Amino acid sequence: MAELLQHLLNGLVLGGTYALLGIGLTLIFGLMNVVNFAHGEFYALGAYVSFAALALAGSDFFVALLVAIVAGAALGWLCEVALLRPLRNESIDTTMLVMIGVGIAMQNAELLGWGGVAKSIPHPFPTAPLVLGPVAIAPLRLFVLVLAAGLIAAAWLLIQKTKLGRAMRATFQDRDTAALMGVSIGRIHAATFAFGSGLAAAAGALLGPIFLVYPSMGDLASLKAFSVVILGGLGNLPGATLGGLLLGIAEELGAGYISSGYRDAIGFVIIILVLLFRPSGLFARQERIA
């Protein structure tokens, strides 16, 4: 029983970051209809930026996280404005190919810049695990879980309560009416992409210290993000949150009780099964972002 709880706890930590990845992509894929295969690369970018800030500039954890988010958001904004906006009326295949190209370029730039050797991100937390009843958790992971929860809450708040969030929801429900009401569609698209990318970078900065940082970490991250989005339903924020948690827990349980080698397959299998049997997602009864 204690083992099960331990796996569940680990799964929550992992899942919290998957939720961040998923929320970002559900906005981009679900609302902007952009198949962003580079989403995982923003995740990797966040990890590398955090590494640079912590290991090289010696700054503290929060600053590194912030810098990573800003870097992700800025690059995301740039991508949208320079590459996606001119292609907005093209088919979904075209934007898909463009983002694949961006992803490849980003990953290999990282390879060239940082080398292929995995890096470990230093962190200020003691390594001795905190014991809470039957389970133990490393202080770092607890910290990550709390931060992830905080970022998820902040994302929800932004979408539901702020003017920007309202404008985003309006644009994606009915673009023309939103435009007539004075919403700048271009700015909303750029802001959405930046927001989603920033969240992905945050996920990378958070998970980086727990696992290692290496250039191909983005590939799997992209696919897991899609897995979460498909689970939760496109454009469905609560769905993505729940989906991320579910995936994290499923991976931990699978790795613990079945086999750790096939751990990453769980995300793939989810994609295949959900798309075959329940394409609108497990939580489809909820409406999109309204």
Partner 1 sequence: MTRTGGWLLVAGALALPLWLPSPYHLHVAIMAGIFGVLAMSLNLLLGYTGQLSLGHAAFFGIGAYTSALLTLKLDWSFWPALAAAVAVAGAAGFVIGRLALKLRGAYFVLVTISFAGVISLVSVNWIELTNGPLGLPGVPAPELGPWSLRTKTAYYYLVLAAVGLSYLVCRRLVRSRIGRALVALRENEPLAESVGVDVTHYLVLAAVVSAAMAGLGGSLYAHYTRFVSPEVFLFTYTVTMVIMVVAGGKGTLAGPLVGAVLFTALPEALRAAASWQWQMLAYGVLLVLLVFFLPRGIVPRLGVALRRPEPVTPTARR
Q: Which residues bind partner 1 (CB under 8 A)?
A: 29, 35, 83, 86-87, 90-94, 96-98, 100-109, 111-112, 219, 223, 226, 230, 259, 261-262, 264-265, 267-269, 271-272, 275-276, 279
Query: Which CB, 86 or 122, lies closer to partner 1?
Result: 86
Minimal distance in Å, beta carbon 95 to partner 1? 8
CA distances from 136 to 6, 18, 129, 139, 195 (A): 7, 21, 6, 9, 34
Which segments within the chain are labelled E, that is strand?
130-132, 135-137
Tokens at 154, concatenated: 């902040």
Minimal distance in Å, beta carbon 267 to partner 1? 8
Query: Which CB, 93 or 176, lies closer to partner 1?
Result: 93
Rg (CA), the chain: 18
Minimal distance in Å, beta carbon 114 to partner 1? 11
The secondary element (H helix, E strand) that includes residue 185 is helix 185-207
Question: Can you name the residues that pair with 137 across neighbouring β-strands?
Answer: 130
Query: Which CB, 53 or 225, lies closer to partner 1?
Result: 225
Tokens at 140, concatenated: 């770092």
Neighbouring residues of 64: CB distance < 8 A, sequence distance ≥ 6: 49, 50, 53, 54, 205
Residue that is written with structure tokens 């962190």 in the block: 123
Query: Which CB, 69 or 234, lies closer to partner 1?
Result: 234
Minimal distance in Å, beta carbon 45 to partner 1? 14
Query: Which CB, 105 or 181, lies closer to partner 1?
Result: 105
Minimal distance in Å, beta carbon 58 to partner 1? 28
Query: What single-letter DSSP state applies at residue 286?
Result: S
Query: Which CB, 75 or 206, lies closer to partner 1?
Result: 75
From CA 54, how far away is CA 122, in angstroms rounded?
A: 7
Minimal distance in Å, beta carbon 277 to partner 1? 10
